[in-house]
Amino acid sequence: MDLKQHLRGRNLKWNWDEIAGYCIKHPETVREIVDHCSDEEVIIQQNAGAVLGKLIDLNKHIIDPYADELINLLKVDLHDAVKRAILRVFQEADIPEETEGDLFEFVINALRSAESSIAIKAFGMTAARRVCEKYPELSNELIPLIEILVEQRASTGLVNRGEKELKKLNKLDSSTYQ
């Protein structure tokens, strides 16, 4: 399969499903999907990001060898669809210890930014909360930002996600981060 040609295709679910299915059968092609997340063509970036989401739905560990690289892509000027997809991946996938700080910092900055999309904020909340489960003291930084977003009521989805994440964060051992 010519992955780049398929990624150049339409931004449609059936296309992403087909590519993801192929990558599951041929795990060596996941490298190409990761590389295409930073392609010069925006449509290829967008579709590669969507395929990442499909891959993680099919196999939570298939992107493990590329996790560091994906987190580093958050620092690059890429289409929001790629960043959204990467954060969606890290709602489920293992977060490498050496890049937990980078992921957490990206999310904190995204939550503070008026320019960040609702999906980036929503997926980011969950990814950052997963980091807080390992380092509960970081909750002091995350909780107030989520509370502000919930109070602002910018979107129903963001409020819903924020309330769920706040419940989980508040259950963390408060004595650890006081």
Q: Please identify which residue in the block is written with the tokens 């060898």.
A: 65
CB 25 within 8 A of CB 62: no
pTM above 0.95, yes or no: no
Assess whether pLDDT exceeds 60 at residue 178.
no
19 vs 125: CA distance, rounded Å = 28
What residues contact residue 111 under an 8 Å CB cut-off, 6+ apart? Answer: 121, 124, 125, 128, 142, 145, 146, 149
H-assigned helices in 26-172: 30-36, 42-58, 67-73, 80-89, 100-112, 118-134, 139-152, 156-171
Tokens linked to 55: 């891959």
The confidence band for 12, taking pLDDT boundaries of 50, 70 and 90, is: confident
**What are φ and ψ of residue 10, in 5° steps?**
-70, 155
pLDDT at res. 125: 97
pLDDT at site 177? 46
Q: Report the chain's mean pLDDT, rounded to a whole number.
A: 92
Distances (CA, A) of 120 to 10, 93, 106: 22, 16, 10
Per-residue pLDDT, averaged over 165-171, amounts to 94
Residues 6+ apart with CB under 8 A from 42: 79
Q: How many CA atoms lie less than 13 Å away from 42 in the CB half-sphere?
A: 4
Residue 173 has a pLDDT of: 58
Decide if pLDDT at 30 tops 60: yes
